[in-house]
Structure formats: structure tokens, C-alpha cells
Amino acid sequence: MELYSKAKLLALPSLGGESFGVVFIEAFASATPVVASRVGGIPEVVDSGINGLLVDPGNPVQLAVAIGEVLSDDNLWRTLSRNARKKAVEKYSIEVVGKLYERAYQEALELEAATERAALHNIYGGTL
């Protein structure tokens, strides 16, 4: 995480096959904007023009222009950086993700209990 906070941006020019991309969340947590390819699950995490910039895969000119834009425009960098950190905190923080897991487990337990009650009702005909 220390390296992200020292970096001006994270560039990840993937050609394909990227899924969720935890590396983006790590960068965002350090307020490091991203320049990445528009492939796989990357657009699900990186909002182009908001917390990073997306480019077409395999297009080194677009990649260089996007990196140059972020590095040369302090206002753009600050905006992307602020929004990256905001997304990390609001959507991917341990508190937020922890609550999502807690809710999922609670729903699973409730479903299991309801299924068990229904099975017992079927076995004993409601005479418990």
C-alpha cells in the first residue's frame, strides 16, 4: 500500500482476462487514480473520468495520452484522486464489505432455518 501512496497513478494496460481487479481497490484506497484498459471487469471498478481513465486495449497511443493527461493536469489528478479514495471508502472499506458479508450470512441462516422448519412441517404434519 505504501507504494500506491507514493505513486502519481497506477497504469494497468491489460489486453484481456481481467476480472474484478483488487489492485484497483488498493490504489483507490491510497487515493491513487488509475489508467487502465477497458476490458473484462475493469470498467466495473474504474469509472472513466471520475476515479481514473479507461482506454481501448492494445492502443498504446491512447494509453500514453491518458497517462499524460493525468500527470500534466493537477486539477484532473486531484479530482480523480479524491474520487478514487471516496469510492474505496464508500464501497470497498472493511466496514462496508463486512456488513455485506454479515447480511449474506444472516440471510443464509434465515433461509436454512426456514427450510428446516418446512422440512419438519412436512415430516410431522405441523404437530411439533
Closest CA to 60 of 35, 85, 97, 27: 35
Cα 11 from chain centroid (whole Å): 16
Tens-place pLDDT, residues 36-63: 999 999 999 999 999 999 999 999 999 9
Give the model's pLDDT for residue 96. Answer: 65
Give domain limits for the chain.
2-91, 93-128
d(CA 118, CA 24): 44
d(CA 21, CA 94): 17
Give the model's pLDDT for residue 73. Answer: 98
| Predicted TM-score of the model (pTM) | 0.74
One CATH from 3.40.50.980, 3.40.50.12780, 3.40.50.2000, 3.40.50.2300 for 2-91: 3.40.50.2000
What parts of the chain have a pLDDT lower than 70?
1, 96-97, 126-128
